[in-house]
Structure 1
Amino acid sequence: MTTEVIVVTPTEEPPTWWDAAVFLAGPNPRVPEVKSWRPEALDLIRARWTGGRLVVFSPEPATGAVRDYYGQIEWEEAGLHYADQILFWVPRDLATMPAFTTNVEWGTWHKSGKAVFGAPPEAPRNRYLRAAAESEQVPAADTLPSTVDLALAALRPTARRTAGERGVPLLIWRTPSFQQWYQTQRTANNTLLKARAEWVYRRGPGKRQVVYWALRTDIRVTAEDRTKPNQIVLSRPDQSTVVLYHPAPTPDDTVVVLVREFRSTATTSDAFIRELPGGAGPDHTSPKDQAAAEVHEETGLDLDPSRLIAHGRRQIAGTFSTHRAHLFSAELTAAEVATLRAAADTPNGEPGTTERTWVELHTYAEIRDGNLVDWPTLGMLAQVLSPRRSADGALQEAQE
C-alpha cells in the first residue's frame, strides 16, 4: 500500500477517497509574527505515517494567519465530521494564541471517541480540558510528537472509503453492526451518497468499544430511482434470544420462562420489562454460545449449548434499529422448571453491573392474553411454539 499524506486547507475540497483522515485542532496564530505549531505537526505526520492515503485537515490557511473567516467555519465543521481522529494540540498563550475557539471545539468533540489531547505542561488555562480528557478517557500527552503518535496509532487499521463513505468515521466503520448494515445496502445496489456521525456510545477499557451508533445518511435507492435524504440509521450489536419452555398438550398451556427486569424505557404499569433471556456479548462470540451464556446469567440455569435449537435471525425493530436477534429454543425438564420456580425470589444478573433479573414462569396463553410482553417477543414465542418450529428453524439457520 502506497503511503501518501495530503494536506487540505481552508477552503479546499478534500479528495474523493482516503484510507484515514485527521483534523489538526488547536489555536491559530492571529498575526504573521506568531509562529504556528502546525508545520511541525505536519512534518511529524509525514515522517511517521505509513498505511495508505492520509488526509490531514489543517484549518490554517497556507498563506499563514487567518484573516478572512468567509467559508472557514463551514469548512472546519465539515472537516471535523470527516475526520477519523481530531488531534487537539493546545499551546495556549493568552496574549498571542488564546485558543477560545479551540475551547468550543473541544467541548463539542471530546466525547466523540475521535479525539486525542495534547498541551505543553506550562500552557495556562488547560486544567478544565485535561480534566474532561481524563473523565472521557481521551488519550492525552504533553508533547506534540507524543500527541501525533496517539492520533496516528488510533487510525490503524485503516479502511478505504470513497465519496459518501468518507463521512463514516473509522470507529463506526470497523463495527460488525455497520458492516452488516452497509452490506445489505450494497447488495440492494443502493449508494451511500452522504453520511455524518450523529452519536456514539462507547464503553470498556479506554471507552474503545463502540456499542451504539447513529448516522445521518442520504441514500440513493436504486429500486425506486430516487434519493432518500436525512435518514437516521441507529444500530447496536446483534443479540441472542432464547425461548425456554416446558411442553404441554397445547401451545396455550406450554410453560415459558420470562425474565423480569427494570428498564428505564418501560411504559408498563409497574415499569418492568418482561422478556426472553437474551443479550449481546463480545463481537467474536458465536450466537449459540452467547445464548447459553445469557440463560445462565439471567436465570441461573446451566444450559449446554448443544440443547439449543436455532430458529434463524430477524430484525427486531426494523424501522428503528438495524440490529437483529438470533432466536434459539430449548425444551426444559420438569425438574428444571421446578428449580426455576423455587429460585424465583432470588435475583440474577451479571456480577459487577447494575443488571438485576427475576425469573417468571407463565403459560403461553397468560403471556399473550395478559399483555405481558412486547410484539417482537410475542412473535418469537409464536415462531418457536409452532408445530413446525424445529424443521423451519434448522433450515433457516443452515441457509444463513
Structure 2
Amino acid sequence: MGADSAVTGVDVVYTHENPPDRWEAAVFLAGPTPRSAGDPSWRPEAVAALRERWDLANGRLVVFVPEHRHGVHDDYTGQIEWEERCLNLSDEVIFYVPRDLTTMPAFTTNVEWGMWHDSGRVVFGAPPEAPKNRYLLHYAEKFGVPTATDLPATIAAALDRIGSGASRTGGEREIPLLLWRDRALRRWYAGQRAAGNTLLGARVVFRFGTHWGLHVRMHVAAEDRVKDNEVVFGRPDISVAVLYRPAETLDETEIVLVREFRSPCANGFVHELPGGSGAGGPAEVALAEIAEETGLVVKPARLREHGPRQVNPTMSVHRAHLFSAEITGEEVARLRASGPHGVAADSERTYVEVVPFGRILRERLVDWACLGMITEALHRRT
C-alpha cells in the first residue's frame, strides 16, 4: 500500500507502506507510541500541524508515521526494518516525547534518540511535565539540537530547517537536505549525472563539521553495471600555494613548506604547502592561508593561478585550487627566522621550513599529491 496523496501537499506514509518516488522534503515522527488502542496518539495532531504549516508552493512533504494505518500491530521485525529505512530517508527526524510511564513509556524512543541525536537532522520536543527526559535534553543541548516544549513549536523548528526543501527522486531521496545542499556534493553529483551515471541509493556514514561520508550505490552508464562498495568523502575545497625562490638549478630552487602535527600522519608531523579552506574565493583563501601559516603577506598580483584538481579522486570529492608565487631572498630570510604560526582557535600550529627541491625529492618530505603540485608550479614558472 502506498502513501495517501493530500491536497495540502503533505503525504502520510504509515508502517509497512512504501514511500513515494519523489519529494521535496521528508520527516519522521519519532517518539512514543501508545501501548493500547484506547490511548490516544500524539501523531495525528503532528500531521495536522504539518499540513497547516507546510507551504504548498514548496511541493511535496512526506511524513513517515511509525504506526499502522488501521491500528494493527504485527510483524515486529518488519516494523523495525521499515523504521530504519524511513529514518534514513528523512530530512528531519522530529522527536516528540510526551512520555507517560504507564501508557507511553518511550523505551524504544530512548534508543532511537541515542542513535540519531548527533546526526544533525533532528529536533526535540517534550512537554515540561513529561518525566525522564532530562538526559535526552542534556544531549540535545550538547549537540545544538533545536528544542521546544510543545508540539506546534517542535513542528515549526523542523520546518524552519527544511525551508523550501529540494526536489529529489529515486536514489536522490536518500541524501538528506543537510548534505544535498553541500556545495562539494552538488558539484560531484552534477558530474556523475553529466556522465550519464545514476544514483540508486545512498547512506550517510558520518558527518563531522563540514566533513561527511556517503556510502553510494551507482549505476555506471559506460559499463552498464552497479558499483556499491565505496564511500564518497566530502569537505570544502582547499587553496594551496607554492612559494619558491628560483636558483641556478631545479634541485637548488627553494620551496616554502610548513611542518604541522596532523593526527593521520604516520609519524605525527607532516610537511605540506601553505593552504586550507575558508570563506572567500580561491585566491583570497590562498592569500589568507599564506599569511596564517607562514606570516608572509603576499599581494594578489603576485599569485599565479594553476587551476583546481581533485587531490584524491578515489576517495574524496574536494578539489585543491593551486597557486604559486616567486619570493625574494629577503622574504626567504624572514621566513627562516619566523616562529610558529597558525590559528590557535583551530588547534593549528605551523613551522616554516624553506627547503631545496632536491632535498624534498631525496628525503621524501611531502606526499605524492603535494609533490605533484610543486612540480606543476615549477614547470610553469616561466
Mapping 1:144-159, distance limit 5 Å: 144-159=151-166
What is the aligned partner in structure 2 of residue 373 from structure 1?
366
Deviations along 1:313-369, whole A, 9 cap, x unmatched? 1111121211110100010011111111111xx111114231111111100011111
Deviations along 1:73-105, whole A, 9 cap, x unmatched? 111000000000000000111111010100110
What is the aligned partner in structure 1 of residue 216 from structure 2?
217
Secondary structure at 1:146's aligned position in 2?
A: helix
For residue 66 of structure 1, report the CA deviation from its aligned partner: 3.5
Q: Identify the match of residue 114 of structure 1 among 91, 116, 121.
A: 121
Secondary structure at 1:321's aligned position in 2?
A: coil
Deviations along 1:48-79, whole A, 9 cap, x unmatched? 11121100001011223645425211110000
Query: Over aligned residues, Cα RMSD in angstroms?
Result: 1.3
Moved over 4 A (4+): none
For residue 230 of structure 1, report the CA deviation from its aligned partner: 3.3
Mapping 1:171-250, distance limit 5 Å: 171-202=178-209, 211-250=210-249
Q: Identify the match of residue 47 of structure 1 among 31, 46, 52.
A: 52
CA contact (8 A) 2:240 2:273 kept: yes
CA contact (8 A) 1:29 1:65 kept: no
Secondary structure at 1:15's aligned position in 2?
A: coil
Mean alpha-carbon deviation: is it higher for 313-322 or for 95-104? 313-322
TM-score, structure 2 length as denominator? 0.95
Q: Identify the match of residue 352 of structure 1 among 340, 345, 352.
A: 345
What is the aligned partner in structure 1 of residue 337 from structure 2?
342
CA contact (8 A) 1:257 1:361 kept: yes
CA contact (8 A) 2:23 2:167 kept: yes
Separation in 2, partners of 1:132, 1:253: 56
What is the aligned partner in structure 1 of residue 262 from structure 2?
263
Q: Identify the match of residue 296 of structure 1 among 291, 314, 321.
A: 291
Amino acid aligned to 2:263 = S
Separation in 1, partners of 2:298, 2:344: 19
Separation in 2, partners of 1:22, 1:144: 14
Q: Identify the match of residue 330 of structure 1 among 303, 315, 325.
A: 325
CA contact (8 A) 1:3 1:52 kept: no
> Percent of counterpart pairs with the same letter?
54
For residue 231 of structure 1, report the CA deviation from its aligned partner: 2.2
For residue 247 of structure 1, report the CA deviation from its aligned partner: 0.7
Mapping 1:121-160, distance limit 5 Å: 121-160=128-167
Amino acid aligned to 1:31 = S
Deviations along 1:235-281, whole A, 9 cap, x unmatched? 1111000000111122111111000110111113xx21110000011
Q: Against the structure 1 CA distance between its residues 89 and 78, is the aligned structure 2 distance closer, same or farther, given a 3 Å change threshold?
A: same
For residue 24 of structure 1, report the CA deviation from its aligned partner: 0.3
Secondary structure at 1:267's aligned position in 2?
A: coil
What is the aligned partner in structure 2 of residue 71 from structure 1?
78
Deviations along 1:170-224, whole A, 9 cap, x unmatched? 000000010011011011100001111111112xxxxxxxx11111111010111
What is the aligned partner in structure 1 of residue 3 from structure 2?
none
Separation in 1, partners of 2:77, 2:316: 39
What is the aligned partner in structure 1 of residue 4 from structure 2?
none
Amino acid aligned to 2:323 = F
Separation in 2, partners of 1:297, 1:264: 20
Separation in 2, partners of 1:28, 1:38: 9
Question: Does residue 273 of structure 2 align to residue 279 of structure 1?
Answer: no
For residue 47 of structure 1, report the CA deviation from its aligned partner: 0.4
What is the aligned partner in structure 2 of residue 208 from structure 1?
none
Question: Does residue 377 of structure 2 align to residue 384 of structure 1?
Answer: yes
CA contact (8 A) 2:8 2:51 kept: no
CA contact (8 A) 1:279 1:291 kept: yes
CA contact (8 A) 1:275 1:373 kept: yes
Separation in 2, partners of 1:157, 1:256: 49
- Name stretches of at least 5 consecutive residues in structure 2 with no aligned partner: 1-6
Deviations along 1:114-155, whole A, 9 cap, x unmatched? 000011111111111000101111111111111000001111
Amino acid aligned to 1:335 = E
TM-score, structure 1 length as denominator? 0.91
Question: Does residue 43 of structure 2 align to residue 38 of structure 1?
Answer: yes
For residue 43 of structure 1, report the CA deviation from its aligned partner: 0.6
Question: Does residue 125 of structure 2 align to residue 82 of structure 1?
Answer: no
Secondary structure at 1:64's aligned position in 2?
A: coil
Amino acid aligned to 2:295 = G
Separation in 1, partners of 2:234, 2:296: 30
Amino acid aligned to 1:317 = N
Deviations along 1:296-318, whole A, 9 cap, x unmatched? 01011111222110111111112
What is the aligned partner in structure 2 of residue 313 from structure 1?
308
Question: Does residue 175 of structure 2 align to residue 168 of structure 1?
Answer: yes
What is the aligned partner in structure 1 of residue 65 from structure 2?
58
Separation in 2, partners of 1:53, 1:173: 17
Separation in 1, partners of 2:283, 2:82: 48
CA contact (8 A) 1:298 1:348 kept: yes
What is the aligned partner in structure 2 of residue 394 from structure 1?
none
Secondary structure at 2:360's aligned position in 1?
A: helix
Separation in 2, partners of 1:350, 1:38: 48
What is the aligned partner in structure 2 of residue 16 from structure 1?
21
Separation in 2, partners of 1:275, 1:70: 51
